[in-house]
Amino acid sequence: MVSAKVPLIFNFDQTSSKQLDIEQPSLWKHICTFGFMLILFSIILGKVNFWDNNQQILIPSLTYGFIIGGILILTSLLQIKKVSSDCFTSVWGFAAGLILVFISDWLVRGYNLFQGPSARGELILVSILAAFTLRKKGTQLVSAFFVIGLFIIIFSFLSESKGQLLFSDDHASFIYRLQLLKSNFPNIPFYNPDWNAGFDSRDFFATGALSIYLLFLPIIYLFPIEEIYNLIVVSILFILLPASVFLASKQYKVSALASITASLLSLGVSLIWYRWALKYGTLGFILSTSLMPLVIAFSARFCDSKDPLKFKEYFIFFAALSICFMWPGSVFSLAPVALFILYSLPQISKNKIKIVFLTLFILVHVTWLGPFISVTKIGKFVTSESSSQQKKVSSTSALSNDRSHEDLKLFKMKPQALSIPSLLTHLREQVITVNPLIIFLAIPGIALLTRGIQKRVLQIQCLWLFLCGAILYPLKPQLELDRLLTVLVIILCVPTGIAFAALLKNLREEISESKIKSIVTYLAAGFLLSTPLATANIINNRSPEQYFFATSFLKDLSTAINIHAGDGRVLFSGFILQDISGGHVAPLPYFSNKQLITSAYYHTQWWYTDVIPESFRKEGLAGVQKFQDFYNVSAVIAHEPTWKKFFRSHPDQFQLVWQSGKFELFKRLGYLSNYFLEGSGEISKITNHNISLRLNSDSAVIKFTYFPFLTATDCELSFFEAFSGNKFIKLSNCPIGKEIKIESLSPWQRTIKGL
Amino acid sequence: MAKNYKGTMTGISKSMGFLLVILFTISTSIIILPLLNLNTDSFLLNLASKNPISAVVNFSHNAFFPWSVDSFWLKYFQSASVTFLIGIYLTIFCAGTYLLTQKTFQTWSEPFFLAILLTAFIVSVFGFDVTIISLIAYLPWLILAYSAFIYSERNSFLYALILTFISIRNVETSLYLSIIPASISIFLCWDRSLFTQKKQILALLILLTPAIVKNLSINLPYFPDYPWGKASLVSFDGVAGILRPLFGPEWGIEVIDRNFIRNTFWIPSLLLCILSFYRFSNLSEKNSPFIKKTIYLALILSGLSFLDTRLPESLAQIAPIATLSKLIPGFIFVPLTPIFLSISVFLLSISSSSVLTAAKVPLLFIITVLIFHASDKHTSYTFPLLYKIQKIEISTLNDKRTISPSYKIISDTKGLALNSERFRSVKKRVSPKRFSALLVASENSNSLKFTIDRDLKTHWNTSNQRQTGNEWLGLKLESPQIIDGINLNPGTETANFPRGLRISTLTECKEFPAKESFKENSEKINIPEWIGPVLFTKLDYPFFGKQSDLKIIFAQQILAQCILIEQTGIDHFHDWSIAEISLITTMNK
Distances in Å between the Cα of B460 and the Cα atoms of A82, A172, A255, B274 are: 72, 57, 71, 51
For residues B155 and B131, state if they share a domain.
Answer: no
For residues B5 and B127, state if they share a domain.
Answer: yes
- Could you give the CA distance from residue B550 to residue B529 in angstroms, rounded to a whole number? 13
pLDDT band at B376 (very low <50, low <70, confident <90, very high): low
Give me the pLDDT at residue A510, please.
74
For residues B324 and B176, state if they share a domain.
Answer: no
- Please write the tens of the pLDDT for every residue from B44-94: 444 444 555 678 888 788 899 988 878 787 777 766 666 777 888 888 999
Does residue A387 have a pLDDT over 50?
no
For residues B427 and B559, state if they share a domain.
Answer: yes
Name the DSSP class of B270.
H
Question: Do the domain assignments include residue B410?
Answer: no
Question: Do the domain assignments include residue B237?
Answer: no
Does residue B136 have a pLDDT over 60?
yes
Q: By residue range, what is the domain housing residue B108?
A: 1-137
Does residue A396 have a pLDDT over 50?
no
* Interface check A122 vs B, CB under 8 A: yes
Give me the pLDDT at residue B195, please.
55
| Cβ separation B247–A152 shorter than 8 A | yes
Helix or strand holding residue A464 (H, E): helix A452-466
From the list A124, A159, A536, the residue facing B246 with the nearest CB is A536
Number of helical (H) and strand (E) elements in chain A, helices listed first: 33, 19
* Interface check B513 vs A, CB under 8 A: no
CB pairs under 8 A between A and B: 48
pLDDT band at A166 (very low <50, low <70, confident <90, very high): very high
Give me the pLDDT at residue A279, please.
95
Helix (H, G, I), strand (E, B) or coil at B22: helix
For residues B19 and B68, state if they share a domain.
Answer: yes
- Could you give the CA distance from residue A57 to residue A74 in angstroms, rounded to a whole number? 24
Give me the pLDDT at residue B1, please.
44
Number of helical (H) and strand (E) elements in chain B, helices listed first: 20, 13
| Secondary structure (H, E, C), A237-261 | HHHHHHHHHHHHHHHCCCCHHHHHH
* Interface check B326 vs A, CB under 8 A: yes
Question: Do the domain assignments include residue B388?
Answer: no
Where is the domain boundary, B137, B166, B196? B137
* Interface check A155 vs B, CB under 8 A: yes
Does residue B412 have a pLDDT over 60?
yes
- Mutation pick from B183, B247, B251, B325 vs chain A, by most beta carbons of A within 10 Å, is B247
| Pairing of β A710-712 and β B64-67 | unpaired
- Please write the tens of the pLDDT for every residue from A179-221: 999 999 888 889 999 999 999 998 888 899 999 999 999 999 9
Does residue B2 have a pLDDT over 60?
no
- Could you give the CA distance from residue B471 to residue B490 in angstroms, rounded to a whole number? 15
Give me the pLDDT at residue B384, please.
59
- A62-81 mean pLDDT: 92
For residues B425 and B374, state if they share a domain.
Answer: no
For residues B155 and B272, state if they share a domain.
Answer: no
For residues B526 and B549, state if they share a domain.
Answer: yes
Helix or strand holding residue B310 (H, E): helix B289-310
Q: Residue A622, class by beta-carbon neighbours within 10 Å (0-12 exposed, 13-18 middle, 19+ buried)?
A: exposed
Give me the pLDDT at residue B226, please.
93
* Interface check B323 vs A, CB under 8 A: yes
CATH of the domain at B526: 2.60.120.260
For residues B341 and B295, state if they share a domain.
Answer: yes
Question: Do the domain assignments include residue B286?
Answer: yes
Give me the pLDDT at residue B194, please.
62
The letter for the amino acid at B526 is: N
pLDDT band at B7 (very low <50, low <70, confident <90, very high): very low
Q: What is the pTM of this model?
A: 0.89
Q: Residue A366, class by beta-carbon neighbours within 10 Å (0-12 exposed, 13-18 middle, 19+ buried)?
A: exposed
Does residue A744 have a pLDDT over 60?
yes
Helix or strand holding residue B309 (H, E): helix B289-310
pLDDT band at A8 (very low <50, low <70, confident <90, very high): very low
- Mutation pick from A56, A124, A125, A537 vs chain B, by most beta carbons of B within 10 Å, is A125
Which residue in chain B has the smallest CA separation from A154? B247
**Measuring CA to CA, which residue among B152, B153, B212 is closest to residue B178?**
B212
From the list B246, B320, B322, the residue facing A533 with the nearest CB is B246
- Please write the tens of the pLDDT for every residue from A334-374: 999 999 999 999 989 989 999 999 999 999 888 777 777 77
Distances in Å between the Cα of B267 and the Cα atoms of A209, B120, B294, B389 are: 62, 19, 21, 22
For residues B523 and B502, state if they share a domain.
Answer: yes
Contacts of B407 (CB under 8 A, 6+ apart): B57, B59, B62, B64, B401
Radius of gyration of the CA atoms of chain B, in A: 28
Give me the pLDDT at residue A380, please.
58
- A149-174 mean pLDDT: 94
Give me the pLDDT at residue B121, please.
85
Contact B498, B569 (CB under 8 A): yes
Does residue A692 have a pLDDT over 80?
yes
For residues B576 and B433, state if they share a domain.
Answer: yes
**Measuring CA to CA, which residue among B90, B103, B87, B98 is closest to residue B140?**
B98
Give me the pLDDT at residue B45, please.
45
- Mutation pick from A51, A112, A118 vs chain B, by most beta carbons of B within 10 Å, is A118
- Please write the tens of the pLDDT for every residue from B212-244: 999 998 989 889 999 988 899 998 888 888 889
Smallest CA–CA distance, residue A646 to chain B, in Å, is 32
* Interface check A533 vs B, CB under 8 A: yes
| Cβ separation A540–B326 shorter than 8 A | no
pLDDT band at A478 (very low <50, low <70, confident <90, very high): confident
Vertex A127: Cα angle to A125 and A129 (nearest 5) = 70
| Cβ separation B322–A117 shorter than 8 A | no
Vertex A524: Cα angle to A521 and A526 (nearest 5) = 110
Q: What is the dihedral of CA A587, A588, A593, A599, to 10 degrees?
A: -110
From the list B216, B247, B319, the residue facing A121 with the nearest CB is B319
* Interface check B320 vs A, CB under 8 A: yes
Most confident of A135-144, A241-250, B9-18, B256-265: A241-250
From the list B216, B247, B318, the residue facing A120 with the nearest CB is B318
Give me the pLDDT at residue A475, please.
86
Question: Do the domain assignments include residue B510?
Answer: yes
Question: Do the domain assignments include residue B189?
Answer: yes
Where is the domain boundary, B117, B137, B157? B137
Percent pLDDT > 70 in chain A is 91
For residues B358 and B436, state if they share a domain.
Answer: no
Question: Do the domain assignments include residue B324?
Answer: yes
Percent pLDDT > 90 in chain B is 35
- B500-519 mean pLDDT: 85
Does residue A467 have a pLDDT over 50?
yes
Smallest CA–CA distance, residue B336 to chain A, in Å, is 15
From the list B216, B244, B322, the residue facing A542 with the nearest CB is B244
Does residue B42 have a pLDDT over 50?
no
- B342-348 mean pLDDT: 93
Residues of chain B found within 8 Å of residue A156, distances taken between Cβ atoms: 247
Does residue A14 have a pLDDT over 70?
no
Give me the pLDDT at residue B209, please.
95
| Cβ separation A118–B319 shorter than 8 A | no
- Please write the tens of the pLDDT for every residue from B284-304: 888 888 999 999 999 999 999
Query: Looking at chain B from residue 226 to 245, which residues have their Cβ under 8 Å from any Cβ of chain A?
Result: 243-244
* Interface check A660 vs B, CB under 8 A: no
Question: Do the domain assignments include residue B248?
Answer: no
Where is the domain boundary, B198, B222, B246? B222
Contact B235, B257 (CB under 8 A): yes
Query: Domain total for chain B?
Result: 4
From the list A124, A537, A542, the residue facing B318 with the nearest CB is A124
Smallest CA–CA distance, residue A149 to chain B, in Å, is 12
